[in-house]
Amino acid sequence: MKAKSKLADGFKLKVGAGDLSFFFDTWIGHEPLCQQVPWVAIQDTALKVRDVWRQGDWQFHDVYTILPLDIQRQLSSSGIMINESVPDCITWKGDQSGIYTVKSGYAWLINHTQIQQDSSSWSWIWKIKVPQKLNFFLWLVCHEAIPTNVLRRQRHFSSLDVCGRCGNAAECIFHCLRDCWKVNSVWRGIGLEGVDWFWKSQPVMQWVKICVSNLGVTFIIVLWWVWRARCSECMAKEIILDSDVLLLASRMQADIQRSFGVESLKYKEPRWVSWTPILEGVVINVDGSAFGNPGRAGYGGLIRSNIGEWICGFAGYFGISNNIHMELLAILHGLELAWSRGFRNVECRSDCLEALSLVQGAQNRFIFMQPS
């Protein structure tokens, strides 16, 4: 029970039907909106979240209280939507499913206690069991002192701060080590696609600590090779491919493991898949996804004969939604298209286990797909 107060920070209110108090419940951000406005008009004290949401958007002119523009922007960009069929509830921030487990609670406590304990000291960096050049590199990153083009420009070594690899943005630390399109596929390669804590904007030091807490030395090694690949391309014009970055990191991790006895690299080997024919009927392959969660979303699929001959395909843009919705829409449109073409013996294939469970009725819990 000693952890109770610390764990409490890990729970938050999730908007469903919108019966939460608009001003007095903490349903967005870290404090109730009443603490972010000069005063709450008496007419608004009983206002619920759903009273301000109509016809698919926020109706700020229905609120008597003056809502600062930054709050209006925060609400508009929050992705929160009212869904009358789902009650408001409390969810757990420590896991993407929103469901608390002892394991995720433990991980949450470890991460948050370590960050608090270590905030005043740098000793944690030097205690990590890696070659010292990596400790030093991590120390430089935490001090925002690696010579990115933004830093070089600030120090008058260069007149430009643009990324030398993609040329699309200023090369700050995050762009250089994480966000540049030449880099982010490396991180996706170790399974970080869609992992909120990795991609969200935050202070560099906090990001490093969270990553080290979750990924251990794997993070430091991959980060090191991402930086090496950047320097190699920008200075020596020698390109190190993403797959080679992961291979080099993987080898270094093995060496470190032999020397220091630490865990192995969490690198996901590519998995080869193939299409398998069926005896009779047609096969529908479908897929759907959203760029963000929620974000711009679409779906598509195709119908093939039992031996793999192309029959027809479909694709659609939906607007703003989430992955699971798109996977389900892909299945629906695939089945409808097959039906309209007169096919009655069909096999529908989707790579989304969650969607298949929902279609087959095996899933009976609500899945939260809004951003945290």
Q: Which residues bind Zn ion (CB under 5 A)?
A: 163, 165-166, 180
DSSP state of 33: G
State the CB neighbour count (10 A cutoff) for residue 78.
15
Asked if 221 and 249 count as a contact pair (C-beta separation under 8 A), the reply is yes
Residue placing its CB nearer to Zn ion in the complex, 198 or 299: 198
| CA dihedral for 117, 175, 253, 195, sign (positive or negative) | positive
Residue placing its CB nearer to Zn ion in the complex, 126 or 181: 181
Question: Closest approach of Cβ 179 to Zn ion, in Å?
Answer: 8
CA dihedral angle for residue 83, residue 85, residue 91, residue 94, rounded to 10 degrees: -70
Question: Closest approach of Cβ 193 to Zn ion, in Å?
Answer: 18
Single out the residue of 258, 271, 292, 287 nearest to residue 350, CA to CA: 287
Question: Closest approach of Cβ 226 to Zn ion, in Å?
Answer: 12
246-280 core/surface letters (b: 16 or more CB in 10 A; e: else): bebbbebbeebeeeeebeebbeeeeeeeeeeeeee
Residue tagged 């982010």 (tokens): 184
Question: Closest approach of Cβ 192 to Zn ion, in Å?
Answer: 18
Asked if 281 and 306 count as a contact pair (C-beta separation under 8 A), the reply is yes
Residue placing its CB nearer to Zn ion in the complex, 47 or 180: 180
Question: Closest approach of Cβ 159 to Zn ion, in Å?
Answer: 18
Residue placing its CB nearer to Zn ion in the complex, 165 or 333: 165
Single out the residue of 322, 266, 265 nearest to residue 292, CA to CA: 322
Angle at 62 between CA 59 and CA 64, to 5 degrees: 130
Question: Closest approach of Cβ 185 to Zn ion, in Å?
Answer: 12
Residue tagged 């005063």 (tokens): 39
DSSP state of 72: H
Asked if 60 and 73 count as a contact pair (C-beta separation under 8 A), the reply is no
Residue placing its CB nearer to Zn ion in the complex, 166 or 359: 166
Question: Closest approach of Cβ 147 to Zn ion, in Å?
Answer: 15
End-to-end CA, the chain: 26
Q: What does the block give as tokens for 18?
A: 């919108």
Half-sphere exposure at residue 28, Cβ-oriented, CA atoms within 13 angstroms: 22
Residue placing its CB nearer to Zn ion in the complex, 86 or 166: 166
Question: Closest approach of Cβ 169 to Zn ion, in Å?
Answer: 6
Residue placing its CB nearer to Zn ion in the complex, 165 or 209: 165
Residue placing its CB nearer to Zn ion in the complex, 174 or 343: 174
Q: What is the C-alpha to C-alpha distance for residues 352 and 341, in angstroms, rounded to an integer?
A: 25
Q: What is the C-alpha to C-alpha distance for residues 197 and 178, in angstroms, rounded to an integer?
A: 13
Question: Closest approach of Cβ 180 to Zn ion, in Å?
Answer: 3
Residue placing its CB nearer to Zn ion in the complex, 164 or 300: 164
